[in-house]
A and B are shown apart, each in its own frame.
Chain A
Amino acid sequence: MTPVAVMVGANRIVQAAGIIHPLGSADLSPADEKTLRRRIVEQALQALRTEVVKPTVFTRE
């Protein structure tokens, strides 16, 4: 849904894991799922420290 976020003008957009579970995945083991969640949250924190001048999508590293 990142194109929608861009269209409405959200400034810092981190691509997450999907509409039905943005911060997780039922296909992963509990440990791997938490690693995924942690990676997305850490990327969001880095995005907060990144200067942007227009809606910017931070894609998966």
Chain B
Amino acid sequence: MRGAPRLRRGGPNVGGLGAISGPHVIDVVDGAVGAARAVQQALGDAGTVVATVICGDNYAAEHADRAAAELVAVVAAARPDLVIAGPAFLAGRYGVACGALCAAVQAQLKIPAVTGMHAENPGVELYRRQVYVVPTGSEATRMLDEVKRLVALGLKLARGEAIGAPAAEGYFARGVTRNVVVEAAAADRAVAMLLDKLAGRPVASEVPRPAFPRVPAPRLIKTLEGATIALVTDGGLVPRGNPDGIEALNATRYGAYSIEGKTGLDAAQYDNPHRGYDTTWVKQDPNRLVPVDVARELEQSGAIGKLHETVYSTVGVATTLAHSARMGQEIAEKLRAAGVDAVILTST
């Protein structure tokens, strides 16, 4: 087996995260040099490091497209069976460069690639779905041990062997769901898990929970009398005919609906495709979902400065976290651009 060219941080005599400028930003050296010697050591008789590729990580970060193309060309010329990049540990630009190289090599050259980095390296989130990323420490203190894990996984890939679950093989979950046959029924597994939990033994959920990022709460600096307030809902308010085609569940779309000149929402003009609750009562009176009537009165009495004339609406049932975050971000940008100071989001 022809072994592994590696992407390595810095030049042969450059330490740290320093940039390499000038024309020789990408270098190729025959065989294993520098940290690539650990790869050769880990390979033993199983393979030979045919070349080491050296690239400045500033160059890779600042000229990502060009660097990836150049690196792919260099790897193609070396004709390896496997590419090992890193490990990048907690070095962010290096981790991103390793992920980008592995992804490009796999996609364009069909050569398996493995990299390694610390869980908090931004390269993990960016590339773990496309590339096998092996968890490492934050610094190169246990280099050989960690390189051995990269090489072991890499050899399996190069030999076309089946790759097991992330926890068993030692790589960051790629978001791939695979059916497996389990001997014990769900009830048995649940009881066993509960007993483990009661006994204080380690318990691993079979269903990973999504992580909800904490968002700091902004403070409304203006007084209410001077503030523009917008109404937003995930309860499914749409005009008759649902012109934006907002899905009844698992929504990917939202609508922007004008309430200009309205002193309330007239049931005859609205509908509700939401399949997550019984919409009978909010169809009878849409103000029960989006309180335009009351908000307009508060505007007229001067309790609030202004009611924003656009209501944003989507359907919040079985909506993925990714789509929710995207729609929320888009709506927030539009509200900010329109000078809105605060939002009341009504939810069912």
Contacts and interface: CB of A to CB of B under 8 A. Distances in A.
B291 A23 contact: yes
B329 interface: no
A44 B291 CA distance: 12
Contact of B217 (A11, A19, A24, A41): A11
B131 to A, nearest CB: 30
Contact of B304 (A5, A38, A45): A45
A21 B289 CA distance: 6
A31 interface: no
A60 B235 CA distance: 21
B206 interface: no
B107 interface: no
A34 B294 contact: yes
Interface string B315-348: 0000000000000000000000000001010111
B298 A52 contact: no
Contact of A41 (B214, B227, B279, B291): B291
A7 B295 CA distance: 28
Contacts of B282: 20-21, 24
B291 A48 contact: no
A53 B224 CA distance: 20
A51 B219 CA distance: 6
Contacts of B156: none
Nearest to B223: A49
A1 B227 CA distance: 28
A53 B217 contact: yes
A34 B293 contact: yes
Interface residues of B, number: 36
B309 interface: no
Interface residues of A, number: 30
A50 B282 CA distance: 29
B278 A20 contact: yes
B263 interface: no
A19 B348 contact: yes
B215 interface: yes
Interface string A27-55: 00000011001101110110011011100
Contacts of B295: 41
B287 interface: yes
B285 interface: yes
A24 B212 contact: no
A19 B277 contact: yes
Contact of B288 (A23, A41, A49, A52): A23
B289 A23 contact: yes
A53 B289 CA distance: 28
A23 B297 CA distance: 15
A8 B227 CA distance: 27
B229 interface: yes
Given A12-B217, A23-B289, A44 B344 contact: yes
Given A20-B279, A23-B289, 10 more contacts: A5-B347, A7-B212, A9-B215, A11-B217, A20-B278, A22-B288, A23-B346, A37-B287, A37-B291, A49-B220
8 contacts: A21-B281, A22-B347, A24-B287, A37-B287, A38-B297, A45-B298, A51-B219, A52-B217
Interface of A: 1, 5, 7-9, 11-12, 16, 19-26, 33-34, 37-38, 40-42, 44-45, 48-49, 51-53
Interface of B: 212-215, 217, 219-220, 224, 227, 229, 235, 277-282, 284-285, 287-291, 293-295, 297-298, 303-304, 342, 344, 346-348
